[in-house]
């Protein structure tokens, strides 16, 4: 585009130069004709009329050339203006890129906090009573104290967890909805119960039978749970955000172990809850979770639920 404009300007300039050269002789002839007609005014009428006609014709040609010259000058100015307004496409792209970079640099940087750590606590309840090798025994039926206590179904729990943000919009399927990966652990305490005499101290049986020997000890019944699950959190950007866990993996460690010395019991966890932002990236919430292990594991059933609150910090 720039090369074409320069070519047009060069041609126009050359044309104007040639027109000027043509106009100058005609103007000079016109001037000489006027002087000659002045000095020969005393000649005959026919000679005078012929000179006047020649002068008039020359004058008309000069005026026509002047008009053409003026029109070409206007055209030259228009071409120059158009050339000044023309911009190289590559230069325009560079300018646009520079404007975008400047806008990005000038934009305020807001930290993105899609991860958080939380601390939990509350109430837990198992579906069935717990027993185990140091709690229940039928080794000596009929003797009082040979079968020991079972633990409570109710418990308290504490725990902590970590959320790691995966996507802000369910990978383009749902706006303002986050998917996070949750890793959590919790400790449940179901209280204490008297242990099995035979399992703890055989001399305890003598105390039960003849009044001599040791007394049965108490054992603490507890459970440690580790879970990993996807968490779907709705209403991104809002102060109140509900969430749910459709299904997650849970591994339960029981203590004391079962009568077959089993300590691990895997299962599935389902959960739901609600966050409330207190200030900046500090929030509180409530949740409820149910653990399903699919039946007894060597006489121990760990199906149950938890309900409580938590304090979270985003980072």
pLDDT value of position 85: 61
Q: Per residue of the chain (315 residues), give pLDDT as tens.
A: 555 555 555 666 666 566 555 545 554 545 555 544 445 444 454 555 676 777 777 778 778 877 877 887 777 777 777 666 655 666 777 778 888 777 766 765 555 668 999 999 999 999 988 766 666 555 554 444 445 567 788 999 999 999 999 999 999 899 899 999 999 999 999 988 766 655 555 556 555 555 555 555 677 889 999 999 999 999 998 999 999 999 999 999 998 887 777 788 899 999 999 999 999 999 999 999 999 988 777 778 889 999 999 999 999
pLDDT value of position 111: 53
Contacting residues for 302 by C-beta, under 8 A, at least 6 apart: 126, 223, 252, 254, 265, 267, 291, 293
Distance between CA atoms of residues 295 and 301, nearest Å: 6
- Radius of gyration (Cα) for the chain, nearest Å? 51
What do you get for the CA distance between the two ends of the chain, in Å? 55
SS (H, E, C) the chain: CHHHHHHHHHHHHHHHHHHHHHHHHHHHHHHHHHHHHHHCCCCCHHHHHHHHHHHHHHHHHHHHHHHHHHHHHHHHHHHHHHHHHCCCHHHHHHHHHHHHHHHHHHCCCCCCCCCEEEEEEEEEEECCCCCCCCCCCCCCCCCCCCCCCCCCCEEEEEEEEEEEEEECECCCCCCCEEEEEEEEEEEEEEEEEECCHHHHCCHHHHHHHHCCCCCCCEEEEEEEEEEEEEEEECCCCCCEEEEEEEEEEEEEEEECCCCCCCCEEEEEEEEEEEEEEEECCEEEEEEEEEEECCCCECCECCCEEEEEEEEEEEC
pLDDT value of position 145: 47
pLDDT value of position 144: 47
Distance between CA atoms of residues 75 and 58, nearest Å: 26
pLDDT value of position 262: 76
pLDDT value of position 267: 94
CATH number belonging to domain 116-314: 2.40.160.20
Domain ranges of the chain: 2-106, 116-314
pLDDT value of position 191: 86
């Amino acid at each position: 585009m720039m090369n074409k404009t320069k070519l047009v300007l060069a041609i126009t300039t050359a044309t104007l130069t040639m027109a000027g050269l043509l106009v100058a002789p005609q103007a000079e002839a016109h001037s000489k004709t006027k002087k000659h007609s002045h000095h020969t005014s005393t000649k005959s009428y026919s000679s005078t009329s012929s000179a006047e006609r020649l002068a008039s014709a020359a004058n008309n040609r000069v005026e026509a050339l002047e008009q053409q010259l003026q029109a070409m000058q206007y055209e030259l100015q228009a071409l120059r203006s158009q050339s000044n307004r023309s911009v190289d496409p590559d230069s325009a792209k560079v300018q646009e890129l520079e404007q975008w970079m400047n806008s990005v640099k000038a934009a305020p940087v807001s930290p993105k906090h899609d991860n958080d750590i939380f601390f939990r606590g509350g109430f837990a309840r198992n579906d069935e009573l717990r027993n185990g090798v140091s709690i229940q025994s039928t080794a000596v039926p009929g003797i009082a104290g040979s079968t020991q206590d079972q633990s409570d179904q109710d418990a308290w729990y504490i725990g902590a967890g970590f959320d790691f943000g995966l996507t802000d919009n369910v990978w383009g399927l749902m706006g303002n909805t986050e998917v996070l990966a949750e890793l959590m652990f919790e400790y449940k305490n179901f209280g204490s119960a008297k242990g099995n005499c035979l399992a703890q101290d055989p001399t305890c049986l003598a105390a039960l039978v003849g009044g001599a020997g040791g007394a049965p000890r108490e054992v603490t019944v507890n459970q440690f749970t580790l879970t990993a699950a996807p968490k779907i959190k709705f209403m991104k950007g809002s102060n109140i955000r509900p969430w749910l866990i459709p299904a997650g993996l849970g591994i339960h460690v029981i203590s004391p172990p079962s009568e077959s010395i089993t300590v691990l019991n895997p299962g599935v966890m389902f959960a739901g809850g609600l966050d409330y932002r207190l200030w900046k990236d500090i929030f509180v919430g409530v949740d409820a979770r149910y653990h399903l292990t699919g039946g007894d594991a060597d006489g121990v059933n760990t199906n149950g639920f938890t309900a409580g609150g938590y304090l979270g910090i985003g980072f």
